Structure 1
Amino acid sequence: MQSVRRREFVLALVLASVAGSLDAIGFLHLGGYFVSFMSGNTTRMSAEAVHLNWSDAGRAVGLIGLFFVGAVVGALLSRIRDGRVTVLAASSALVGLSAALGLLPSSPVPPILGVAMAMGVMNATFVRDGEVSIGLTYMTGTLVKAGQRLGMAMMGGPRWLWVRYLGMWAALAAGSLLGAGAYLLWEQGALWPVFAVMAAATLVTSRVRADRASQ
């Protein structure tokens, strides 16, 4: 993250907060399952399986599968045109579609399941040399890096690099609080303001990268 440009870091903060909001909304709506935190779903799957709660374990498996499919789709989309913009547009569209389906009086499956796929796609926003350079929906590794960089700073290394990593976690935490609060007010309708933020981030990113390419 040391080599990440300031504009990229700002976009990463915005998207981390989006991920936090969506995960909180999904967690509340699905009754304790996550749309972006697959480690949590894996633990939930195992806990339900040992108690022979196969339907609940199956829900966790389904969310993991949707996220995985989204990650595959994101990897493919990152190679189309301006990959970053393509990935952002696709993940925004999936969240918008989920929000729109939530307006229907009935649906055979919860529309918010589409958000799990969107989160898998969104993780391909920052790809460098075929690898994800900035994780957006999982923060355990980011917190570890924050601690490591703080330890290095105490030994004379870069003084403030740890703040960037901790800032990513703080952005996700803040987004989670906002998402949970919005869900208490609007339930699935809370997806709409998050979609608006994602759409705005996509448009701004597209404009910035187009201007840079024309210079």
Structure 2
Amino acid sequence: MTRLDRNARILAVSFAAMAGMVDAIGFLASGGFFLSFMSGNSTRFSVGVVEGAPYVGMVSLLLLSFVGGVVAGSLIGRKNMLSPSRRQAYILIIISILLFAAPVIASFEFLLFGLCLAAFCMGLENTLFEREGSVSFGLTYMTGALVKIGQGLATLMSGGARFAWVPYLLLWIGLVSGAAIGALLFGFFGLDSLWLPAGYAGVFALVLLAQGNRMMP
């Protein structure tokens, strides 16, 4: 995050907000499960296995969908040497299409399938800032960002860099703000609220294709 220029940081915060929206909408639609926060789902999976809870299958599919999205996003452009901006645009196009389709599919009594599509998109999103086959930082989970905030504050108190923790704070604020917006929208539109982040991803995909701007240095 600290290696990104100002514009790329703004985009990263914006995409964290998009993830927060999707996660909050999915959390409310599923009755307490996550589409991007897989640490929480992993804990629920373990508790469910021990208790013999009926939701274990659902959590398992969400986990697999998320990992599948990461695999798909990492493979995009790996063989045909796409430019970073075009690769990112293709990922955003897929996210936009799938997030638009998820509520439609769910409306035909396939809620779990729709939620799995959205979880797949969250896995995809985490590969937007991939560098040399490795994800630079997570956009849909904030544990690492909170650790960086704590480390940055410790560095500040020790007389080191004063603002190294600020980009991670903004990333966290982006996610929680997006989650609040997602929860508010869900109260009015239900799962159809996913169309907002779908449109958001689509707009940025078009910008990248038109201008070829890179989202990372």
Normalised to the residue count of structure 1, the TM-score between the two structures is 0.91
SS at match of 1:193: helix
Deviation at 1:78, TM superposition (A): 4.3
Matched, 1:24 2:27: no
Alignment-derived partner of residue 61 in structure 2 = 62
Alignment-derived partner of residue 71 in structure 1 = 70
Distance (whole Å) between structure 1 residues aligned to residue 33 and residue 111 of structure 2: 18
Alignment-derived partner of residue 93 in structure 1 = 97
Question: Structure 2 stretches of 5 or more lacking a match?
Answer: none
Distance (whole Å) between structure 2 residues aligned to residue 96 and residue 128 of structure 1: 28
Alignment-derived partner of residue 50 in structure 2 = 50
Deviation at 1:110, TM superposition (A): 4.2
Contact 2:95 2:121 survives alignment (8 Å):
yes
Distance (whole Å) between structure 2 residues aligned to residue 164 and residue 70 of structure 1: 26
Deviation at 1:199, TM superposition (A): 1.2
Q: Which has the higher contact order (CA 8 A, sep 6+)?
A: 2
Deviation at 1:156, TM superposition (A): 2.3
**Within-5 A mapping of 1:1-215:** 1-53=1-53, 55-79=54-78, 81=82, 82-102=86-106, 104-107=107-110, 109-209=112-212
Distance (whole Å) between structure 2 residues aligned to residue 110 and residue 187 of structure 1: 16
Distance (whole Å) between structure 2 residues aligned to residue 144 and residue 206 of structure 1: 35
Deviation at 1:124, TM superposition (A): 0.6
**Counterpart of 2:45 in structure 1: which amino acid?**
M
Q: How many residues align?
A: 210
Deviation at 1:86, TM superposition (A): 1.7
- 1:22-63 residue CA offsets vs partner (Å, 9 max, x unmatched): 00000000111111111111111111111111x311111110
**Counterpart of 2:199 in structure 1: which amino acid?**
A
- Identical aligned residues as a percent: 36
Contact 1:21 1:179 survives alignment (8 Å):
yes
Contact 1:78 1:84 survives alignment (8 Å):
no
Distance (whole Å) between structure 1 residues aligned to residue 71 and residue 199 of structure 2: 25
Aligned CA distance change for structure 1 residues 143 and 97 (closer, same or farther; 3 Å) = same
Normalised to the residue count of structure 2, the TM-score between the two structures is 0.90
Deviation at 1:93, TM superposition (A): 1.7
Distance (whole Å) between structure 2 residues aligned to residue 149 and residue 141 of structure 1: 12
Aligned CA distance change for structure 1 residues 159 and 208 (closer, same or farther; 3 Å) = farther
Contact 2:95 2:198 survives alignment (8 Å):
no
- 1:144-165 residue CA offsets vs partner (Å, 9 max, x unmatched): 0011012112222221121110
Deviation at 1:109, TM superposition (A): 4.2
- 1:179-204 residue CA offsets vs partner (Å, 9 max, x unmatched): 01100111011111121111112222
Question: Structure 1 stretches of 5 or more lacking a match?
Answer: none
Distance (whole Å) between structure 2 residues aligned to residue 188 and residue 134 of structure 1: 28
Contact 2:103 2:114 survives alignment (8 Å):
yes
Deviation at 1:206, TM superposition (A): 3.0
Distance (whole Å) between structure 2 residues aligned to residue 167 and residue 107 of structure 1: 36
Deviation at 1:111, TM superposition (A): 1.7
Distance (whole Å) between structure 2 residues aligned to residue 117 and residue 131 of structure 1: 18
Contact 2:89 2:204 survives alignment (8 Å):
no
